[in-house]
Amino acid sequence: MAWQVQFRVFRSSRGEVPAHFDPFTVEIKPDETVLDGIERIWAFQDRTLTFRHACHHASCGSCAMRVNGVEKLSCVTYIQDVTSDGGTLVVEPLRNFPIVSDLVVDVSPMFHRMHEVGMPIIRSAEPLGKPENFNCFENCIECGMCVSACPVMLTSNQYLGPAALAAAQRTIAEPRGVDVRSIWQLADDENSVWRCHTAFECGEVCPSNGDPAGAIMALRRRLILERIKSLFGRGILARQRGG
Amino acid sequence: MTKPVAIVIGGGSTGAATAHDLALRGLKVILVERGEIASGTTGRCHCLLHSGGRYCVKDQEAGIECIEENIMLRKIMPDGLELNDGLFIAITDSDMDYKDKFIAGCEACHIPWEELTPQQALAIEPNLNPNLKAAIRVPDGVFEALRFCLSFLATAKKNGAEIHPYIEVLDLLSTGQGAIKGVHVQDRTSGRVYDIEGDIVISATGPWAGDIAAMAGASVPIQPTPGVMVSMNQRVVNLVVNRLNKAADGDIIVPQRQTSIIGTTSWPVDHADYIPVPEDHIQMMLEKGAELVPGIRQARMRGVFAVARPLIASAGQADGRELSRTFECFDHAKRDGVEGFVTITGGKATTARAMAEKTADVVCRKLGLDAPCRTRDTVLVSYREYYI
Ligand SMILES: Cc1cc2nc3c(=O)[nH]c(=O)nc-3n(C[C@H](O)[C@H](O)[C@H](O)COP(=O)(O)OP(=O)(O)OC[C@H]3O[C@@H](n4cnc5c(N)ncnc54)[C@H](O)[C@@H]3O)c2cc1C
Ligand code: SF4
């Protein structure tokens, strides 16, 4: 049985101020997804609606948006989990990114940071007790949901942000050929791990077991340990200082 | 000398690879895509870097294309592929009857293969159906469709291409003398409508190729043929697992990141804009998938999606399974008497580079340019550089 759900969708055309919400009534089954509903609005009600999507199976990260105020990967967010028959869904673009139009944000600031950190996207897979060395894409799908949820990002656009810090921690823990010295420097900065207020909102919304909050804490512990070591003239920070 | 301008319509795997090839050959490339990059067929495909094994018996032309491109992509996209190989496993007697045909097909297409005993296969993949009777290992791989396109596009941008998502082609501009001279577009982020002129227009619009061709009064024999895929919340295998038999519904599980994607089905539709998922296909995917890997029954479903293949139609086909998976580049001057307009469609994401090479050859010949293809050994830059 299909439900009737009202989608209140954030609308803004490039440069248009102020933005507004458009209501759309959608017939949708409880086990369909928020992205199914948005695609149907585009297909049958309003061809001007713009939104990001590609893989529809939680692997590309592009369909991230805010649903009733919470960051969601819309392709795997089921209607029954976020509303009820006759209910309303408020759909907005991610925060802390420049808005291009409607639900489309410009994700390049995050990719700049990810590129700086330089995490390879391929890693050894979780072994299923196998003799062979399998490989697998990184868990982080670069969806930007942690960046959107982070209260510190709201106040400082200098902050490296949870996704890139989690990537830095991954790379330092498992360098796979990457030179980690510059990543240490990037991480050990007032706009980096030390700026995090440990609000843990990023970890709450991560759709991919990325645990950015945990990664930032781990990175802090490593940095503190390195500082202690460097007092005794050992460790990577000491070597850096020595040239 | 000013560079000739090539306008590419479509930001899926075909358009992305075509933009890359043409930019490397020295053309000024302007690519327009009406939505996000990879928001058409490419994004929602099964993400299998084909070894060619799935085609080596019935469609050897496609099989050969796949293995050649598979080997080439390993060189040019080294950091963007999960390369764990694939298994074709036999469970029934009918599967066993297919084994010799399959091996002969691999040989004919030059697909490297290795037969494993059931014990060896289970040692590599303990979650396989324990009743398997035979397993053949081939060099299948896995890509991530958005990043696959972005790698080509990032490299194209480095070589001067302009990539414009959210720009929809509303019409083709005609010279009035039977030639196309550009595109009439709308910027969907602002509503602005304007024209872009160029020396040649290339439609890489997959299952929408018929719509664009119609704007030129031309036609392409495209049959949009969707398939359903079901993704699970666990990576149940590390190798791609295929059923050792002729292509059928639900005969393959592709692991990717933390998920396993079961696919797929095949039926023809009139138009590719919106594909509702037939409910019975989901149940069928789960049942057929569990024949390959019984653990599918314990895993939870994560997402369901469907999208249309751009298959090139021929007479007398039924569900689309019989249509060739190879590609074709249509020069509309020859076909429909329309100059300045080329369509590239059919094929696979796996063969995007080869499709681009063939198209760019046609484009260069039409423009009188002598520029050889250089994509075979040009290593692509990181997809992240698309944003930089
Ligand atoms: C179910 C299924 C599973 C598949 N699995 C695999 C697989 O595992 N491996 C593999 O290699 N291949 C696979 N394929 C095949 C592969 O996905 C396609 O052949 C390939 O992605 C087609 O790419 P394309 O760029 O030609 O088309 P598309 O990706 O569809 O790109 C065309 C683009 O044109 C755009 N467009 C349309 N109209 C306009 C307009 N008016 N203006 C501007 N832009 C426009 C669309 O938005 C779209 O993004 C699969 C296909 C299907 C259907
Ligand atoms: S860490 Fe998680 S929330 Fe942040 S970008 Fe990666 S996948 Fe998305």
What ranges do the domains of chain A cover? 3-105, 108-231
Supply the pLDDT for residue B6: 98
Q: What is the pLDDT, as a whole number, of residue B323?
A: 65
pLDDT in tens, A3-32: 999 999 999 988 676 889 999 999 999 999
* Same-domain status, B239 and B203: no
Do B106 and B118 lie in a common domain? yes
The CA-based angle B41-B47-B49, given to 5 degrees, is: 120
Would you say the CB of residue B309 lies under 6 angstroms from ligand 1? yes
- In terms of domains, do B161 and B304 share one? no
Q: How many domains does chain B have?
A: 2
User: Which residues of chain B make contact with A48, given a CB cutoff of 8 A?
Assistant: 188, 191
Give the B window 130-149 contacts with A, CB below 8 Å.
144-147
Which residue segment(s) compose the domain that B25 sits in?
1-47+144-221+324-388
CATH superfamily of domain region A108-231 = Alpha-helical ferredoxin (1.10.1060.10)
Residue B109's CATH number: 3.30.9.10
Interface of B with A in 280-319 (CB under 8 A): 302-303, 305
**Residue A127 pLDDT > 80:** no
What is the nearest CA distance from B9 to chain A, expressed in angstroms?
17
pLDDT of residue A129 exceeding 50, the answer is: no
pLDDT surpassing 90 at residue A175: no
Residue B1, min C-alpha distance to chain A (Å) = 33
Shared-domain flag, residues B217 and B227: no
Query: CA B147, CA B133: separation in Å to the nearest integer?
Result: 37
Domain annotation covers residue B282: yes
Question: Strand pairing of B200-203 and B341-346?
Answer: parallel
Task: Note the pLDDT of residue A131.
Answer: 46
CA distance B145 to B38: 7
Decide if B63 is inside a domain. Answer: no
> pLDDT tens digits for A65-74?
999 999 999 9
The answer to whether residue B355 sits within a structural domain is yes
Residues B252 and B354 in one domain: no
Assess whether pLDDT exceeds 80 at residue A234: no
Confidence at residue A243, expressed as pLDDT on a 0 to 100 scale? 40
State ipTM: 0.94
Q: What is the dihedral of CA A94, A96, A102, A103, to 10 degrees?
A: -20
Question: Would the CB of A105 count as within 6 Å of ligand 2?
Answer: no
Nearest by CB: B189 against A13, A40, A122: A13
CATH code where residue B355 lies: 3.50.50.60
Report CB contact under 8 Å: B256, A33. no
Both B190 and B203 in one domain: the answer is yes
| Chain A neighbors of B231, CB-CB under 8 A | 57-58
* pLDDT for the residue numbered A42: 97
As beta bridge partners, residue B325 has none
Model-level pTM?
0.96
Residues B333 and B368 grouped into a single domain: yes
For residue B207, tell me if it sits in a domain: yes
- In this predicted structure, the answer to whether residue A233 has a pLDDT above a threshold of 90 is no
Same domain, B244 and B347: no
Q: Which residues from A are below 8 Å from B189, CB to CB?
A: 13-14, 50, 100-101, 104
Question: What's the average pLDDT block by block, 10 residues per block, for chain B (388 residues)?
Answer: 93 98 98 98 97 96 96 93 95 98 98 96 95 97 98 98 98 95 97 97 97 96 94 95 95 96 94 91 96 96 94 63 77 94 96 97 97 97 96
Other CB atoms within 10 Å distance of the CB of residue B300? 7
**What is the per-residue DSSP string for A48-104?**
T-----S-SSSSS-TTEEEETTEEEEGGG-BHHHH--TT-EEEEEPPSSS-EEETTE
Residues with Cβ within 8 Å of residue A86, at least 6 apart in sequence? A3, A4, A5
Per DSSP, the three-state class of A200 is coil
What is the 8-class DSSP label of residue B268?
-
CA B39 to ligand 1 centroid distance, Å: 8
Are B5 and B150 members of one domain? yes
Residues B160 and B230 in one domain: no
Q: Which ligand is nearest to the CA of B242?
A: 1
Q: B217 and B228: one domain?
A: no
Ligand 1 centre to CA of B363 (Å) is 21
Q: Which of A14, A39, A141 sits opposite B189 (nearest CB)?
A: A14
Shared-domain flag, residues B301 and B382: no
Residue at B363 is within a domain: yes
Residue B19 belongs to a domain: yes
How high is the mean pLDDT of chain A? 91
Q: Which chain A residue's Cα is nearest to B127?
A: A128
Pocket lining: A114 vs ligand 2, CB cutoff 6 Å: no
CA distance B264 to B241: 13
Please give the average per-residue pLDDT across A109-128, as a whole number. Answer: 82
Round to whole Å and give the CA distance between B207 and B42.
11
Residue pair A97/A147 in contact by the 8 Å Cβ criterion? yes
pLDDT greater at residue A135 or residue B253: B253
The domain A3-105 having CATH identifier 1.10.240.10: the answer here is no
Distance from CA of A137 to the nearest CA of B (A): 5
- B388 closest CB neighbour out of A50, A111, A132: A111
A40 touches chain B (CB under 8 A): yes
Side chain identity, residue B378: T
